[in-house]
Chain A
Amino acid sequence: MVLSLAILLSCQLLGEGVARGLNLPVPGPVLGMAMLLVGLRLIPQLALVLRPTVAVVLANLSLMFVPAGVGVVGNLSILSSDWLALSVVLVVSTLAAMLATVGTFLALRRWGQGDS
């Protein structure tokens, strides 16, 4: 587990370093994810090392959003008198984005060999 954490944090550190150093519009952890993917392609045994820890981390991904979520409650007043309009916008726009994404994905699926 310590080795897994060291690998994950090293990738994040590298990602942060490159993203900030080159002023890229990508967050460090996202770049770190890409770097780990390359690492996994080069050294497939890494997957065996990482799997147990990653399983625990991803099974509890929701937990990591709780501190930020609590922050939102204290800040709800920032929505002020616009709260109703903002709620409608958030719900409608999120549903529209999901429908557009899923519709496009399914429409183009047949063009790959991936139709199953």
Chain B
Amino acid sequence: MGDMAALWSYLSTEPLLWLTATLLAYLAAAQLARALGTPPWANPVLMAVLILAPVLWATSTPYATYFEGAQFIHFFLGPATVALALPLYDNLPTIRKTVLPIVAALLVGSVVAAVSAIGLARAFGLAPAVILSLAPKSTTAPVALGIAEAIGGLPSLTAVLVILTGIVGAVTVTPLMNALRITDWRARGFAVGVAAHGIGTARAFQVHPQAGAYAGIALALNAVLTSLLVPLLVRVLLP
């Protein structure tokens, strides 16, 4: 028993354990989703988190310890974002023909994402710092945190809201688009990329390669636009 405790105290502080656990949880989530017939609500990010969170809680593992292992996976968000250039390159001929819809949909979608969040939050009487943390929720996490900090939001709250927004978008996009009978993969992918950043883009790649490519463009363009737009909108809407 003492040996077991010693082994645990060794393993639980080494990166190997939580790196492996993250991979296994993701594989289990993907397997479970496939067994269920990949319904939209069985989002792999959400399910893997729901598997890991109770394990961390039961072993009273602090997030910092978990992240020492998981950071090796987290790190790959950077190169994965760079990798979006390849589907973009593959789709360049189609993208050239859809420049106008891309630019217009980006502008409208980005404004609606921020204005609706600010407006609804005001209607609910939420505190100004909370409203400011919500405003950049649809853009990729590093950009959203930077914006929140600059406009007086709470970066830690923004981090939570950004991830939750990604999951909401990834889970709702397929039923929403199917209900509206929208079959254009470019439009579907672009919409989830604008509204739900990388987690939405991951969902788009699950569904269709062209949806993924367009979600990737939307994610990249919205990162730039949101960082310019949200500080301006906040000044106008929250004087």
Contacts and interface: CB of A to CB of B under 8 A. Distances in A.
B207 interface: no
B88 A37 contact: yes
Interface in B129-178: 130, 134, 137-138, 140-143, 146, 154, 156-157, 159-161, 163-169, 172-173, 176-177
B46 interface: yes
A112 B97 contact: yes
B84 to A, nearest CB: 5
On chain B, which size bracket covers the interface? 35 or more
Given A27-B142, A28-B78, A104-B105, A70 B182 contact: no
A75 B159 contact: yes
**Secondary structure call for the B interface:** helix
Contact of A68 (B74, B105, B165, B187): B74
Nearest to B204: A61
B53 A73 contact: yes
B25 interface: yes
Interface string A9-40: 10110010000000001111110111011011
A97 B116 contact: yes
B128 to A, nearest CB: 12
Nearest to B170: A62
B81 A67 contact: no
A65 B112 contact: no
A52 to B, nearest CB: 11
Contacts, number: 314
A19 to B, nearest CB: 10
Contacts of A28: 78
Contacts of B165: 90, 93-94
A57 B195 CA distance: 22
A113 interface: yes
Contacts of A109: 98, 101, 184, 187
Contact of A71 (B63, B94, B205): B63
A92 B223 CA distance: 21
A98 interface: yes
A2 interface: no
A65 B67 contact: no
A3 interface: no
Contact of B22 (A29, A61, A67, A92): A67
B44 to A, nearest CB: 4
Contact of B45 (A66, A74, A93, A103): A66
A62 B89 contact: no
